[in-house]
Chains A and B, each alone.
Chain A
């Protein structure tokens, strides 16, 4: 498989196909099997396309979601499960542009209990937050967030989460983190049709079966029993 040249970020996508071919190889029918052929001639993975994020923002978002959701035996990394794509799409769409957000002034700083009080649309809030976060890591580590080592990313994100990172521009780093984390959780656990939670990995990780048809009998027959059915998504029902 190694002769197929893939950009680093796309390597994991191809890895799924590769291991299928690997399993076929182990049975001794590798050379001319259709599986092997498919893998060898697999089209290059989809190019990265962003609806609204610029290159710096995209790099930041990918680095943060990979820190929030590191690849391990439970799931691939945040980027590989589609979280950066999800965030980009959400910010480009109605949510990012302030749908269902009351946007009349005056805009005054409130208490945390007042909730979001900024004049910025969520899209512009993320723009401002990313640039503050990168400014802070540049001041602290001499680099933007996506250039940091894994250990530095963990440390920097903790500082941002706890408000220790100094942000200018009308909101704290922990406020930015809370909003970023919420959007990431939405993407990780939402229906895969939104672009995150690719292959229902988050649902599989926790044992959420996705869309039910009916649990009328199961609510009794599975009383205190494990229900480990393959999760169903909206696409599976459509």
Chain B
């Protein structure tokens, strides 16, 4: 039996970064908002306190804060001809659950996309000709530009108290910042974090080769900070237990620290935890979502929550699953190329580089913050000439360590056995004396990389699992070879005692080792309803009262971590909802 509840102005599915931001903006605009979060409540006081939070086995290896794969997971096949198998344990990516979502246990690397990232198809075609983009590479323009998003990036950076160094202030290039970034109206709210051995050694070497390194923009606050909402952050203590952990010092921006302290007391907001949204109820004739059905995971009871406005902030996989399962929009068909729900799933191509070892150094890897290091963008986007390279896009190269947690983060020189006396001696010698120099690349969309419903495997709510058909492609391998070579050149300039051969990922996408929780696509944005799921305001083309948030709207993935860009898009969409949609509810763009 389903209990039907009283209608509310707006329902928000998921209480991660995007759900929290949209809830806040809509309540501020006067709406009554109900937030539905499948996981439990999480507060810094109860859930992120020391000493319990400094437990590597529990949080990193036993996935304390991540989505429970026994309940729900994703199936994987590398090609359409194969049978997908479920990822029975998460490895390569780690979706969050509970209040704060993955935003409560992220690193905090916070970016603005490059200007070119929003216009990938038009830019590369115009500059390098029609053949620059392979026929089966289905990259698209976002339908919104960096200039339009600039004030919203600014707002997200201020919400998070980002620590960084501007490189392009209103068109003026600033040495020490990222000179390749688009013009920004304001500097970062906080100065950059301290530097460690890895990041300063890399900085010196990159500079000596004529590159333009800069400190990683970070949501780990270099100073205590009060954001424009009035929420306060502490100062980062470089605890080395950042990503995969909640912050004990309230120094890492998160929905829990940056938004919820002001949102939760608001009488216009009601948060329901342990509320797993199963389905959106769709009125096809009216082109509206009338309500959402959710399960109280404590009792198994089902509820129907009617709402005037529906916001999806349930991360890439549930955003796409809820659209497909609810029958909203046209599922993508890779054979005909028609339909768009599930289209352009992308990931991140990481780890193209080298490991360096320094006999006499003390890198102190355990004194570290989550987003902590030196980056260079000289080979990112179209910041360098692509003529004759055989690939488009690029990546950022970085050095620095986010932790020295010993189960996960150790390196020994090539040729060391994996156990025994020699293994012990190598760990004793090198644990404090190495770091990586590596590139993280864009990952562009292809016709046969997509999401749909698995024909066999089901989740705990009885819905099909999301099936991922995905593999890396030639463009990725070529960037990988290129970035690993560049990384090696810089590493060599550091004069390390030992340096590994340049390496990059080859072969099938591997679901086991952690790479990044940077999954994108599935409900992509655009200006043409035949090739996108949401319009440039993130409004569904098929249901005018439905807005979809998060990286699922990226038409392809840039080299940067996604949260800065998806935070800016959340504010951009909230602005359109409040200032356009609420004044005249209906489609904001004509199909």
Residues of chain A having any CB pair with chain B under 8 Å = 67-70, 72, 74-75, 94-95, 98-104, 106, 108, 110-117, 154, 157, 161, 181, 185-186, 189-191, 194, 202-203, 205-209, 211-216, 218-220, 222-227, 234, 237-238
Q: Is the CB of B362 within 8 A of A106?
A: no
Q: Is the CB of B237 within 8 A of A215?
A: yes
Q: Which residue on chain A has the smallest CB distance to residue B50?
A: A237
Residues on the A chain within 8 Å of B89, using CB: 100-102, 115-116
| A37 vs chain B, min Cβ distance (A) | 35
Q: Cβ of B240 < 8 Å from any Cβ of A?
A: yes
Q: Is the CB of B407 within 8 A of A69?
A: no
Residues on the A chain within 8 Å of B493, using CB: none
Q: Provide the bound-state CA to CA distance between A111 and B82, in Å.
A: 11
Q: Provide the bound-state CA to CA distance between A161 and B419, in Å.
A: 10
Residues on the B chain within 8 Å of A115, using CB: 87-89, 91, 511-512
Q: Provide the bound-state CA to CA distance between A203 and B55, in Å.
A: 14
Q: Is the CB of A215 within 8 A of B238?
A: yes
Q: Which of B402-436 contact A (CB under 8 A)?
A: 404, 406-407, 410, 418-421, 424-425, 427-428, 431-432
Q: Provide the bound-state CA to CA distance between A220 and B431, in Å.
A: 20
* A234 touching B51 in the complex, CB below 8 Å, given contacts A117-B85, A206-B410: yes
Q: Provide the bound-state CA to CA distance between A69 and B182, in Å.
A: 53
Q: Cβ of B133 < 8 Å from any Cβ of A?
A: no
| A110 vs chain B, min Cβ distance (A) | 4
Extra contacts, 20 of them, besides A108-B85, A215-B367 (Cβ < 8 A), are A99-B62, A113-B508, A113-B509, A113-B512, A115-B88, A115-B512, A181-B418, A190-B407, A191-B57, A205-B427, A207-B431, A212-B54, A212-B241, A212-B367, A213-B50, A216-B236, A219-B367, A222-B367, A227-B364, A237-B51
Stretch at the interface among B67-75, B479-487, B516-524: B67-75
Q: Is the CB of A238 within 8 A of B51?
A: yes
Q: Which of B140-177 contact A (CB under 8 A)?
A: none
Q: Is the CB of B239 within 8 A of A212?
A: yes
* A102 touching B421 in the complex, CB below 8 Å, given contacts A208-B404, A215-B237, A234-B52: no
Q: Is the CB of A72 within 8 A of B68?
A: no
Q: Is the CB of B237 within 8 A of A194?
A: no
Q: Is the CB of B88 within 8 A of A101?
A: yes
Q: Is the CB of A102 within 8 A of B87?
A: yes
Q: Out of A69, A101, A116, A238, which one reaches B424, CB within 8 Å?
A: A69
Q: Provide the bound-state CA to CA distance between A115 and B512, in Å.
A: 6
Q: Provide the bound-state CA to CA distance between A218 and B238, in Å.
A: 9
Q: Is the CB of B237 within 8 A of A212?
A: yes
Residues of chain B having any CB pair with chain A under 8 Å = 50-52, 54-57, 61-63, 68-70, 73, 76, 78, 83, 85-89, 91, 194, 196-197, 200, 235-241, 361-364, 366-367, 404, 406-407, 410, 418-421, 424-425, 427-428, 431-432, 456-458, 507-512
Q: Is the CB of A234 within 8 A of B420?
A: no
Q: Is the CB of A116 within 8 A of B511?
A: no
Residues on the B chain within 8 Å of A219, using CB: 194, 196, 238, 364, 367
Residues on the A chain within 8 Å of B68, using CB: 100
Q: Is the CB of A68 within 8 A of B419?
A: yes
| B508 vs chain A, min Cβ distance (A) | 5
Q: Is the CB of B511 within 8 A of A114?
A: yes
A-B contact pairs, 5 of them (CB 8 A): A101-B89, A104-B86, A211-B50, A218-B367, A224-B197
Q: Provide the bound-state CA to CA distance between A125 and B117, in Å.
A: 46
